[in-house]
Amino acid sequence: MHWMRTIFLALAYLGGAGFIAGTLWSLLAHGLWGHPAGPPPHLSPEEARAWTHEHPGGIGSPHAMRWEDIRVALREQRWAEVWPVALAPLGGGLALVCVPASFLVTAKHWWKGALGLGIAVIILVRVYTALWGREH
pLDDT tens track for 81-111: 788 888 888 999 999 999 999 888 887 888 8
Residue type, position 7, single letter:
I
Tell me the one-letter amino acid at 124.
Answer: L
The kind and range of the H/E element at 103 are: helix 79-106
- pLDDT, tens digit, 9 for 90 and up, residues 39-53: 777 778 888 778 777
- What mean pLDDT do residues 63-92 have? 81
Distances (CA, A) of 102 to 18, 81, 98, 120, 134: 19, 33, 6, 13, 34
26 — pLDDT class (breaks 50, 70, 90) = confident
What integer best gives the mean pLDDT of the chain?
81
Asked if the model's pLDDT at residue 60 lies above 60, the reply is: no
**For position 136, what pLDDT does the model report?**
42
CA 23 to CA 10: how far, in whole Å?
A: 20
How confident is the model at residue 74, as a pLDDT?
82
